[in-house]
Amino acid sequence: MERRKFLYQMVGAGASAMVVGSTWFLHSCRKMSATAKMIWVKEGSFDNPLRLLPRENDVTAIHWTAKQNTTEIVKNTTTQALGFANDILAPVVDIKRNQVLDVTLNNGLSEITNIHWHGLIVPPDMDGHPDNVVTPGGSFNYHFVINQRASTNWFHPHPHMLTGKQVFKGLAGILLVRDEEEEAFGFPSGTFEIPLILQDKRLYSDGGIHYDPQMTDYMNGYFGHYVCVNGSWSPFLQLQTKIYRLRIVNGSNARIYNLTFSNGIIFHLIGSDGGLLASRKDVDQIILAPGERLDVLVDFSKLKKGQEFFLQSDAFHGGEAQGKQSFKIMRFLIEKEVAEAFVVPTVLSNIAPIFVNNETKIRSFEIANDHGGEGGHQGHGMGDLHSMHTIGGKSFEMDRVDEIVKAGDTEIWEFDNSEGSDAHPMHVHGVHFQVLSRVGGRGVVFPHESGWKDTVLCLPGEKVRVAITFPQNKGKFLLHCHNLEHEDTGMMLNYQID
């Protein structure tokens, strides 16, 4: 799109002022976010059968092509979306610890792409850094050993300034790591273990995915009216009176969900981003931000045939652009009563706390975004998008290393959103961390934050500290906000493990 038209569409009459440079732009950004326009969720009739994601059968020789596929997001409406195989999204990768993951990615798009393995501890050249991309028509082989505990992970493209668009249009998938510790519990499996990726979409009238962010979308994140699960809008799933294991990924660009069941059934939370918790936590509500995952057991065994209920998101205090609405996400219907013998365990794993004391180095990252970008591009139109969002006053530069850490060292990283007015789910590549504290805002560390994490939500007013011991994978990794429009407009830094 030529610049004039772009500016006009973004800010209408204010467009001519934008060319004077980033000071006006950033100032206006703050002002405009104070009047954030909510994208209200539309509920359908919940009669669209949930897409059950297929499983990839041979994880040691995967061949995917990122391309446009025919799919169905809205019931009985054929449309186009991006995917890695022959539908929207990707087949679920189910892999054991110590196995080799081998994925050849062919790029069938007309722009660069790649894959980042969100939650996997991998060498830097396999991590899908935006400086390692596949050109259209090209391919890349991701090949590494899975060396970490059982966990719920996911993957998505990470090309700079295109991540938001490609994920929104359908490029994402779920990757489950298994190990012996987890297998010993005999958790519900097969049809009783259901991977669910939550994503809100904006749709054209033909059901196709519409991604065309305007100024407010870059400021707040790109939200959609249609909340989809596994690429199905307004879905339903039939259940038996059993205990199910749900592997829930928030794969939305920006939307945070406050998950709960309409009939009061509780989540037996057994795991989060980095695998099993030390013990099961029973909770009736979980705030899940983009990038975060949950491993939950849900006991439907006391229900009766014909009963129905919803997974929904309740309103919450999420800053200016989030949480103002309660809405249903998915309908469940009990179709069969059967006996259930599985007993939900209480003690799960051993999580040794990372040792920190008052000598531990603290790196503090200002994420309130009120100071503008020093490292960003000054000036004109689209160029300003690079530096709209910042971490510690800096916007992403591909070749600049912002922080250097030592392999084996433990540090405390602090994400400071005390003065902020927007939500920022902060994600660190290449590590798992432990959440130490949250000061301000919600003021506590939540049950789903008690294990190993790689993404942590910092709501307005919150300062969150995490402890990280850096692994031996030396090289360049990313830290960024997982609001993908924030990420694409500069809210990302490089750090290096030396």
By CB under 6 A, tell whether 486 contacts ligand C2O: no
CB-side neighbour CA atoms (13 Å) of 403 = 24
Handedness of CA 105, 116, 293, 200 (dihedral sign): negative
103 by Cβ neighbours in 10 Å (0-12 / 13-18 / 19+) ranks as buried
Residue 291 or 318: the one with the smaller Cβ distance to ligand C2O is: 291
Nearest distance from C-beta of residue 160 to ligand C2O, angstroms: 11
Helix H or strand E segment including 17: helix 15-18
465 binds, among Cu ion, ligand C2O, none (CB under 5 to 8 A by kind): none
Q: Please choose, out of 213-221, 225-233, 316-324, 475-483, the segment that lies near ligand C2O by the rule CB under 6 A.
A: 475-483
Nearest distance from C-beta of residue 158 to ligand C2O, angstroms: 6
What CA–CA distance (Å, rounded) separates 146 from 149?
9
Among 18, 66, 116, 430, the residue binding ligand C2O under the rule CB under 6 A is 116
Nearest distance from C-beta of residue 282 to Cu ion, angstroms: 29
Total residues in contact with ligand C2O, by rule CB under 6 A: 10
Q: Name the phi and psi angles at 293, rounded to 5.
A: -130, 155
Site for ligand C2O in 417-446 (CB under 6 A): 427, 429
Nearest distance from C-beta of residue 272 to ligand C2O, angstroms: 15
Task: From 429, 418, 483, select the one nearest 453 (Cα to Cα).
Answer: 429
By CB under 6 A, tell whether 480 contacts ligand C2O: yes
Order of strands across the sheet that contains 173-178? 93-96, 173-178, 151-156, 116-118
Among 231, 291, 420, 430, the residue binding ligand C2O under the rule CB under 6 A is 291
Residue 158 or 202: the one with the smaller Cβ distance to ligand C2O is: 158
453 binds, among Cu ion, ligand C2O, none (CB under 5 to 8 A by kind): none
Strands 327-336 and 235-240: parallel
Binding mask of the shown chain, residues 149 to 168, with x at each position contacting ligand C2O by CB under 6 A? -------x-x----------
243 binds, among Cu ion, ligand C2O, none (CB under 5 to 8 A by kind): none
Residue 211 or 342: the one with the smaller Cβ distance to ligand C2O is: 211
Residue 289 or 478: the one with the smaller Cβ distance to ligand C2O is: 478
What CA–CA distance (Å, rounded) separates 375 from 383?
12
Residue 292 or 299: the one with the smaller Cβ distance to Cu ion is: 292
Task: From 476, 474, 479, 492, select the one nearest 397 (Cα to Cα).
Answer: 492
What CA–CA distance (Å, rounded) separates 395 from 131?
16
Binding residues for Cu ion, rule: CB under 5 A, are 118, 424, 429, 481, 483, 486
Helix, strand, or coil here: 175?
strand
Nearest distance from C-beta of residue 479 to ligand C2O, angstroms: 8
By CB under 6 A, tell whether 118 contacts ligand C2O: yes
What CA–CA distance (Å, rounded) separates 445 from 435?
7
Q: Please choose, out of 253-261, 262-270, 379-387, 478-486, the segment that lies near ligand C2O by the rule CB under 6 A.
A: 478-486
Contact status, residue 144 vs residue 122, Cβ threshold 8 Å:
yes
Contact status, residue 390 vs residue 372, Cβ threshold 8 Å:
yes
Q: Name the phi and psi angles at 404, rounded to 5.
A: -120, 130
424 binds, among ligand C2O, Cu ion, none (CB under 5 to 8 A by kind): Cu ion
Residue 29 or 492: the one with the smaller Cβ distance to ligand C2O is: 492
- Point out which residues bind ligand C2O (CB under 6 A): 116, 118, 156, 158, 291, 427, 429, 478, 480, 482
